[in-house]
Chain A
């Protein structure tokens, strides 16, 4: 009896412990040192690989096309950009256009569309789409031999999309699921503070009510006109082949007048300096410092991006060093610069240990002040430049990444070849540029703070920015 019991105990213990190899705790002789390891390898100059300049043309109906030829991989990346968005529309439904158009773009329910889509899947095309405040886009990455059939599918998906009742109801169901979640993102709260809820940039959340079908159809009809569209193609296709394809697919679209394209920046909106989105289910406290930036076509834009990177992005940034490495207060630390045609904004922040969030925000505010005061070294700037160009290289190394950069330039109203000149532009920026933009856009008066988390942990008075407003942002 006793022995049975003992065996049962052993089995129980043995059976509940995971069967893994034991670790080697015995002392191990240190690895033999080799003197050459003590010195980092040299960093030779990098010869950047630049695309040939893009080739652009316009069809009689106003449809524009742009090709960047690359023949080292047999695929193509395509973006069809409609350079009008919520910021160009005035009617009540416009506030939802950025949230609804991506649903709408998936197309109607007609059998022909589904069949075309299946054909695209068979050929290997991967379709993508999205919305910005200033534009709506769709596109694909496909084997080069599938270019023509994929362009057909792209046109059906965009210009020919026909939102029927069944499809609308199906989309409404998905919409309702998101709306019922009732959560407002930190980024949405930032935009609400900076732009107010009467501006498309400040639109919060998905909305309780789906945009009416007729309004969605009306917005679609006004946005999807050839005069608003630019097709950006990067990859393994020659000009004559693409020209023929574009003529065939998009040439028959009827010409119609374009909507005016807004250029003026939204007026300043005075939102609370410090805000709190209460979310007591979170163990972490998300905290951001944010401010408006210049219009993206300004020369200041790239300088502000580089200054923001120096502060918040990458392993060498001030915030990574001070918030993550020195205090261990966060894992996710970063800077996010957002730019649409008429506005930009920059955010610095982290997801903190809840009790370290206010101190973490204090570190960000202090780092911004240091930059404004010119306390930045040439070495810091050099690394920020290097990291910035490295990110550009990573994007440009893929057809899809390059198409994204070229299309973004078009959406922002920049020179379409802007991505080619990126390394040169970054190299031209110096300390004075960074300090100047910090003093122009990141002043104490311009900076706002928002927290999201269990607000019982927060003592925002320590920031010295006044009382915190509790945001009760319901989706409109």
Chain B
């Protein structure tokens, strides 16, 4: 049934009928397909004969949140080692490059580890060869020597991306307020002490625990022949034996206490940041809070843009819902205008949120929905964006098939009341973690905590 729908869709395209596979204001029509190999590997396909590239993306259901204490940094180090090569493709990055790949990278987040590349349609087999080697044969290539070499590179990356940043400590400071110490998302202050202690046996154990086809999703999007690609996927991935992936411990609920952190950092201007713990990725309120973020500080005339930037209290403001498997964080950041008091900006932000919680207008909700929809359409122009979107939506149980809407309908049903209710339920003073960062060019690198004050302010 599913396959016949797909074939019909292709037939129309090939005949040259209006295959406008995306109508910016109408439905986005690009068929997708979900299959499962016998070893448990989830396969997501989105063929498009008009595309210029094919993107191949493998996502493993494991990330930094799965690192045991004492081995912080392990997931990222494993990502580096796996990306750089496995048993048969020991120089995977170079081999992909020689095949004309672009967008080659790997990313480790709290819950997932993702490897991806885009290739010319003629070279898709090289990408499948490399990714299957990474999935099935990475542990065979792990040696103490390689771990030592990659550890040095990862330590450099940590310093480049994190430790040398003037606000590097803010994340751990805030994380400690949002998550209890037992929570997998709890952060430690950034340093390399755990990284130095990781050995090849730890890397192998991580791979043997989590890098199973049954814990992975392979997404392929772009200009590929479905039948030939399915055959290649079976050839390269079908023989990789599954492993039983452990069940994660059930986590109790917890509450956050309102706190204000005062920090000195070598930043150009005073900054205020407001954080709230919010519902997990894929829940209804998670999506509603995406709309809230756009209504508060998205493009166009927004509530915070008017109240802060147009009014001269701040020079910029942004808002975002950062969604993860077990919990999310909503945050707002504003750069305080010279001469203005950070506390005034914090108070104004909360007042604007409270106003939104009182009554969202149909116009701003429509604009916010439109922002999300159009942002998604721009992302879906690329095969890479399509592969990433497939994997992301598959994680929250989206029905991937011939009528797949690519998430564009996710925001369609929110009424102004629902948006206001989400803001009022989650973005309250009583749940808020606030940081006030005072600009001080002589402050120590990474930022220094000056004061921690509990309670609603």
Contact = CB atoms under 8 A, between A and B. Distances in A.
Interface of A: 14-25, 28, 30-34, 36-38, 40-47, 49, 72-75, 114, 117-118, 120-126, 141, 143-146, 169-170, 173-174, 176-178, 180-182, 281-284, 314-316, 324-325, 328-332, 351-353, 382-383, 386-387, 389-391, 393-394, 396-399
Nearest to B181: A16
A325 B81 CA distance: 11
Given A173-B315, A393-B102, A397-B53, A328 B205 contact: no
Interface in B267-310: 267-269, 298-301, 309
A46 B123 contact: yes
Contacts of A282: 164, 445
Contacts of A314: 97
A398 to B, nearest CB: 6
Interface in B178-226: 180-184, 186, 201-202, 205-206, 208-209
Contacts of B357: none
A74 B312 contact: no
Interface in B220-239: 235-236, 239
7 nearest CB pairs, A to B: A328-B152, A124-B374, A143-B24, A121-B300, A181-B268, A331-B157, A315-B93
A81 B243 CA distance: 56
Nearest to A383: B98
Nearest to B28: A74
The interface centre, meaning the residue of B71, B205, B243 with most chain A CB atoms within 10 A of its CB, is B205
Nearest to A44: B122
Nearest to A45: B122
A118 B248 CA distance: 46
11 contacts: A19-B182, A20-B249, A31-B136, A41-B129, A141-B378, A143-B24, A143-B25, A173-B337, A174-B315, A383-B98, A398-B382
A351 B160 contact: yes
Interface string B142-184: 0000001111111111011001101000000000000011111
B209 A24 contact: yes
Contacts of A125: 374
A165 to B, nearest CB: 13
Contacts of A176: 338
Interface stretch (B60-68, B397-405, B411-419): B60-68
B246 A43 contact: no
Contacts of B151: 328
Contacts, number: 267
A43 B126 contact: yes
A331 B445 CA distance: 20
A390 B102 contact: yes
A47 B206 CA distance: 41
Contacts of A114: 301
A267 B373 CA distance: 50
Given A173-B312, A399-B381, A20 B248 contact: yes
Nearest to B157: A331
Contacts of B236: 37
B108 interface: no
Interface in B306-347: 309, 312, 315-316, 335, 337-338
Contacts of B373: 124
Contacts of B181: 15-18
Nearest to B68: A20
A74 B371 contact: no
Contacts of A353: 152, 155-156
B53 A284 contact: no
A40 B137 contact: no
Contact of A21 (B164, B202, B208, B248): B248
A121 B372 CA distance: 11
Nearest to B132: A37
B100 A46 contact: yes
Contacts of A120: 300
Interface residues of B, number: 114
Nearest to B385: A398
B23 interface: yes
Interface of B: 20-25, 50-53, 65-69, 71, 84, 87-89, 93-104, 118, 120, 122-123, 125-126, 129, 132-133, 136-137, 139-140, 148-157, 159-160, 163-164, 166, 180-184, 186, 201-202, 205-206, 208-209, 235-236, 239-241, 243, 246-249, 251, 266-269, 298-301, 309, 312, 315-316, 335, 337-338, 366-367, 370-371, 373-375, 377-378, 381-383, 439, 441, 444-445
A328 B157 CA distance: 11
A36 B88 CA distance: 10
B249 A19 contact: yes
Contacts of B125: 41-42
Given A37-B129, A281-B266, A281-B444, A20 B65 contact: yes
Contacts of B153: 324-325, 328, 330-331
Chain A, interface SS category: mixed
A391 B97 CA distance: 10
A149 B180 CA distance: 50
Contacts of B299: 121, 126
Contact of B53 (A17, A122, A325, A393): A393
Contact of B182 (A16, A124, A283): A16
B367 A121 contact: yes
A203 to B, nearest CB: 19
A123 B25 CA distance: 9
A46 B300 CA distance: 43
Contacts of A44: 122-123
A330 B158 CA distance: 11
B94 A315 contact: yes
A122 B300 contact: yes
A75 B89 contact: no
A178 B266 CA distance: 12
A283 to B, nearest CB: 5
Given A34-B239, A315-B104, A182 B441 contact: yes
Nearest to B96: A315
B129 A15 contact: no
Nearest to A353: B156
Contacts of B154: 331
A317 B103 CA distance: 17
B100 A25 contact: no
A65 B444 CA distance: 52
Contacts of A382: 98
B68 A18 contact: yes
Contact of A331 (B95, B102, B160, B240): B160
Given A41-B129, A47-B122, 20 more contacts: A24-B208, A24-B246, A28-B208, A40-B89, A42-B125, A46-B123, A49-B52, A75-B24, A122-B370, A124-B24, A126-B299, A174-B316, A181-B441, A281-B164, A282-B164, A315-B97, A351-B159, A391-B102, A397-B51, A397-B53
Given A18-B69, A25-B205, A391-B102, A46 B120 contact: yes
B190 to A, nearest CB: 11
Contacts of A383: 94, 97-98
B25 A25 contact: no
Contacts of A394: 53, 102-103, 118
B183 A19 contact: yes
A398 B377 CA distance: 12
Contacts of B103: 394
Contacts of A330: 153, 156
A176 to B, nearest CB: 5
Nearest to B311: A170
A22 B246 contact: yes
Nearest to A384: B97
A283 B163 contact: yes
A38 B235 CA distance: 13
B14 to A, nearest CB: 13
A273 B184 CA distance: 50
Contacts of B184: 18-20
Contacts of A397: 51-53, 118, 382-383
A324 B24 CA distance: 44
